[in-house]
Structures are given as C-alpha cells and as structure tokens.
C-alpha cells in the first residue's frame, strides 16, 4: 500500500533550519511495530502520525526508538501539513494525544501551539548526568525534563556531553535541557536525550512547557522570545498562560513523497 509522507522544518522560515519532522497522514492506524519501523527509517528526531476523526485528529509521535508523550515541533509540522495540503484552512486544529487535547491556531503564517505547562521544581541531578556535562549548572530543576540553568548564553553554546557517561541513564520520555537568559532574546536553550539515536534535538517545543513558566517568573514577563541554539537553530514565540503555554513558530515543507508497505 502507498502512503504519503512529508518532511517539514519546524520553528524556522528557512529550509535546513529549525527541527525536521516527518509527517505521515493515515486513514486508519497501522500497528505500533510498523509505526516504529517507519520512524526508524525516517531517521529524524520525531515522526508524527495522524488519523482524522470527525472534527479533530488523533496524533501520535515516535522517535527512532520509542513512542513519546509530547512533541512540540512535530505537532507544528503536522499542523503545517494539515493547513497547507489537506484543505483544512479553519483553525484551531484540534488533536487528541497522549498528553490530552492540544490545539493549534494559525495567524500571520505562525502556528501557535496551546500546550500544558509543566513548571519545574528544584531537584538534584543524577551523578551520571552531572559527570557528563563539560560545564556545571548553577540551578537544577525538573519537570518531565531536567532544566539546568547557567549564567550566560556562551555557556549554553559551549556545553559538551560525554556520551559514554550520559547514556548510562534512561530518562524515559524526558531529557536534559540547558538554558540561560539571552542577550538578543529572552532566553536560550539546548536539549539532549540520553540513550537516544539522536543525542541533541535541534529545536524542542515540549521542553518549553517547562522553560516558559520558569523564565516567565524569573523575568517577570508573560510574552517572550526564545532561541534554541543548536547547530540548526530555531526561534520560538512564547507566552505563559498559567496552566497552559503558547508556543509559536513558522514551518516550511522540505520534502513530499510516498513510501510503500
């Protein structure tokens, strides 16, 4: 059977920037084993699969290794495919997911994801992660992900990971996000996942579910602009709405094709 597939660069206005995600529209669900095999074959950080149902979509996300509970950039990518190729111009687009109901509104070419806030709390860092970091944080917090706070954006850019030590721990759905107040934006970050095929995620929407509440309190601001300073890089428009966060970004289609099962 022939299936459509798209590759979209999320949180960028330029091809080869932001975070690439594959998007696979389906009319009914394939087996979990097939979904994981497709994600492995795609070899990007996440693949989004969706099935239309009445007035919404059932959405799932797979890395090359596991199914995950939330992925911001792949949700943005799926919204872009629905909006630009599947003749659904009305918004908000509504998704049912492992993280509940998610909605995406579109305004001025920007996709705004309405996601659950995950405020981090003070925590201790596991020894394996601490030893894997070339630079040590000044504050350690945790929600789903560890949020490690540093003094300066240059620290974030300079951090290196000892993968041998880093991969000795499994964080399940979670990862390690390093962050600092920005100089030309409100805050910057990078994101790493132990034991994952892809160590550093280029732009991570879901980590901003914790970064936005944290920096909103620190900076006393509700609306902020963030940069994820990976090699590809990406820009996120952020708003703290107490128990929810809004994360906005652009997207561009890189590839359209088919695969066969």
Sequence length of the chain is 261
Q: Which residues are catalytic?
A: 46
Cα distance between residue 230 and residue 238, in whole Å: 18
Question: Buried b / exposed e across 231-259, counting CB within 10 Å, b at 16+?
Answer: ebbbbbbbbbeeeebbbbbbbbbeeeeee
Largest interatomic CA distance in the chain: 53
Helix (H, G, I), strand (E, B) or coil at 17: coil
Look up tokens 């949020």; give the residue: 147
Cα–Cα nearest to 104, from 225, 222, 6, 10: 10
Neighbour count for residue 162 (Cβ, 10 Å): 12
- Cβ atoms 103, 244 nearer than 8 A: no
Q: What 3-state class would DSSP assign to 163?
A: helix
Count Cα atoms within 13 angstroms, Cβ side, for 127: 0
Which value, in Å, is the radius of gyration of the alpha carbons in the chain?
A: 18
Sequence-distant (6+) residues with CB within 8 A of 218 are 181
The separation between CA 248 and the C-alpha centre of its own chain, rounded to angstroms, equals 12
């Amino acid at each position: 059977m022939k299936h459509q597939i798209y590759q979209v660069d999320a949180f960028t206005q330029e091809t080869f920037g932001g975070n690439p995600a594959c998007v696979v529209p389906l009319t009914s669900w394939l087996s979990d084993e097939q979904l994981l095999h497709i994600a492995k074959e795609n070899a990007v950080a996440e693949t989004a699969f969706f099935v239309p149902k009445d007035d919404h979509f059932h959405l799932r996300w797979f890395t090359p290794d596991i199914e995950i509970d939330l992925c911001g950039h792949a949700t943005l990518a799926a919204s872009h495919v629905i909006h630009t190729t599947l003749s659904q111009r009305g918004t908000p687009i509504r998704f049912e997911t492992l993280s509940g109901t998610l909605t995406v509104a579109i305004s001025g070419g920007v996709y705004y994801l309405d996601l659950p806030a995950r405020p981090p709390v003070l925590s201790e860092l596991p020894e394996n992660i601490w030893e894997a970091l070339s630079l040590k944080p000044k504050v350690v917090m945790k929600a789903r992900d560890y949020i490690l706070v540093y003094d300066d954006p240059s620290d974030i850019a300079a951090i290196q990971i000892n993968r041998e030590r880093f991969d000795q721990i499994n964080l399940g759905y979670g990862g390690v996000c390093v962050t600092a107040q920005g100089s030309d934006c409100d805050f910057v970050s990078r994101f790493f996942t132990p034991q994952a095929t892809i160590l550093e995620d280029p732009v991570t929407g879901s980590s901003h579910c914790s970064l936005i509440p944290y920096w909103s309190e620190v900076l006393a601001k509700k609306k902020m602009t963030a940069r994820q300073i990976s090699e590809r890089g990406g820009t996120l428009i952020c708003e703290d709405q107490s128990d929810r966060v809004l994360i906005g970004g652009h997207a561009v289609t890189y590839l359209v094709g088919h695969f066969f099962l």
